[in-house]
A and B are shown apart, each in its own frame.
Chain A
Amino acid sequence: MSGGELLLRAEGLKLRFGGIIAADGIDLSLHEGEHLAIIGPNGAGKTTFLNICTGYLTPQGGRVTLGGREITGQPPRRITRAGVARAFQIPQLFTEQTVLENMLIAGAAHARRWNPLRDLHAIPERRAMEEMLELVGCTDVRDRLASELPEGKRKLVDIALALALKPKVLLMDEPTSGVASADKFGVMEVLMNALRAARVSSVFVEHDMEMVRLYATRVAVWAQGVIQMTGRPEVVLNDPDVIRNVIGGGHA
């Protein structure tokens, strides 16, 4: 167990869609300073877990707490305000606005800047938002419409939007899928440095085992709605069962 303070905790989560069991008694916790990777075959319920933690789905059993306070089934906006931000597998951007405007809306939302007569571009958070774009390497596309970006950049902007909220916990769904493979490690390096600098703990769903080995402080193996194993990456990724069922499986 990591030494930091307990942040996010799921206890006995249960959720099934018809015959598909997404979660069947999930216990998982995240402590301050941890970067927890969730690995497992497609359709195992990894994204569902993120959806439950952010209130998008309500579990049929069990509960989720943040810093000891129960947040199960609260609307996403309230959980976001409590300090859990989310980045998506498919980037969720405001496609008709520029990248900077996307960031400024996030900044205004976080600082609650609702003066209807003040230009969005004139909010005090503008500098911080530009720095955030710099941090994820998107300054070059600052004034482009979000809909015009290549997938890799969209992904980074999506993560920057989440980071703009200064969360305690960031949940990421395959943070580097869609990023050109030559750039993957560079992007992840930048991202993890940003998280460490901002003291943000994270949970990320990942299929690339090399990424997990390099950046996770702990790994949870998710299969058939249960956590089969958790532990340090060098232990979990060398476990024969895990190699056979998860790593060997979909990712030859």
Chain B
Amino acid sequence: MRPALIAFLVLLAVLAGLPFYADNLTVFVTMCLAKSLAVLGILVLIRADQVSFGHAMYFAIGAYAAAFLSSAWRDIDLTLLVLAAMAASMVAGLLVGLFVTRYRGIFFGMINLAFSMVLYSILEKAFHITGGSDGMRIRRPTLMGFEFKRAEFDIVMFYVSLGIAAVCFLLVWRYLRSPLGQALRAVKTNETRLEYLGLSARHVLLAGYVVSAVLCGLGGVLMGTVQGLATPEHGFWSRSAELVFIAVLGGQGHVAGAFAGTVIFETVRTFAAAILDDSWQLILGVVLIAIILWAPGGLVELWQRATRRRPRPASEPVETGRQSMEVRR
């Protein structure tokens, strides 16, 4: 078995036991899992060298899809909420994606931002439908017909999130190694050649875009259900930027970066906020500068450096900028 697969299974086992030895952390980790799904979505687009500053909109779409269903039907099942969020974010990702995949680089990022701010304004202004800036409640759903009390439900959400995240990370890992995922990297390096292989670079990117939208939608429905709330804040631009921030922090070389980045980010935020009030952003800012300067491959790169037996000879060319070292096979 591959070491990476063993590490994945060990991590899964350690997390699965969490409610038994650290049950005060379950909600925290559930939220990390939800957010890491959205970060994973960002990571998919970064493969094609595209950075979206509006992906929190799909996070909000996932949460609001659950909120609308939850307010329409009292005893709705969690399965339906998740499916609805996936469907809503997929349709939205496809529609917006058809438009934004014509653009690259800064234009791609900004047009996504524009779409997300349109959605944010609608959610905030249409208060008779969306509850305005207070948002909408998401009632505690049933799961497979069973009802749960608050404390039980936290545990249920933890395992549901863990299961969904585990499946998504595995699928995305495979997707990125498939022809379609490898073509996504080719969008980054040579669109001309892609076209001259008979492929549409735009369609390759669109496929990646829809995948990333659905991942964000899933993150949104899980987060919304845990918090019992969908608010416009979920889709605010600073949330989008946060996702990009975590993706850079975690590193783009491996899907594990999305989870590692989210855990570190949320931990620093939680504990630094407790000790230093509002200066946690300052700490994260300094950390990000350090990462960009010395480890542009993020935590993934740091991990690879630490686990590699011999250090790289200094003469070997080191890739610069936002490119990262890739884990191959």
- List residues of chain A with CB under 8 Å of any chain B CB: 54, 75-78, 80-81, 85-86, 92-97, 101, 104-106, 108-110, 113-121, 123, 161-162, 165
Q: Given the interface contacts A105-B179, A108-B179, A113-B179, does A93 sit within 8 Å of B174 by beta carbon?
A: no
User: Which residue on B lies nearest to A119, using beta carbons?
Assistant: B177
Is the beta-carbon distance between A106 and B197 smaller than 8 angstroms?
yes
Is the beta-carbon distance between A105 and B182 smaller than 8 angstroms?
yes
Any chain A CB within 8 A of the CB of B175? yes
Chain B residues lying within 8 Å of A117, measured Cβ to Cβ, are: 171, 174-175, 178
User: Which residue on B lies nearest to A98, using beta carbons?
Assistant: B328
Is the beta-carbon distance between B178 and A86 smaller than 8 angstroms?
no
A80, B185: Cα distance in complex, Å: 21
What's the minimum C-beta distance from A195 to chain B, rounded to whole angstroms?
18
Q: Which of A76, A108, A119 contacts B174 (CB 8 A)?
A: A119
A179, B117: Cα distance in complex, Å: 53
- 17 more CB-based (< 8 A) A-B contacts, given A105-B183, A114-B179: A54-B196, A80-B196, A80-B197, A80-B198, A85-B196, A92-B192, A92-B196, A93-B190, A96-B323, A97-B186, A105-B186, A109-B183, A116-B180, A117-B175, A119-B177, A119-B178, A123-B179
What's the minimum C-beta distance from A165 to chain B, rounded to whole angstroms?
7
Chain A residues lying within 8 Å of B171, measured Cβ to Cβ, are: 116-117
Q: Given the interface contacts A76-B195, A161-B197, does A116 sit within 8 Å of B178 by beta carbon?
A: yes
Is the beta-carbon distance between B189 and A95 smaller than 8 angstroms?
yes
Any chain A CB within 8 A of the CB of B181? yes
A97, B193: Cα distance in complex, Å: 13
A120, B179: Cα distance in complex, Å: 5
Query: Which residues between 132 and 186 of chain B lie within 8 Å of chain A, taking CB atoms?
Result: 171, 174-175, 177-183, 185-186
Any chain A CB within 8 A of the CB of B9? no
Chain B residues lying within 8 Å of A97, measured Cβ to Cβ, are: 182, 185-186, 189
What's the minimum C-beta distance from A174 to chain B, rounded to whole angstroms?
16
Chain A residues lying within 8 Å of B177, measured Cβ to Cβ, are: 119-121
Is the beta-carbon distance between B174 and A110 smaller than 8 angstroms?
no
Q: Given the interface contacts A116-B175, A119-B178, does A105 sit within 8 Å of B188 by beta carbon?
A: no
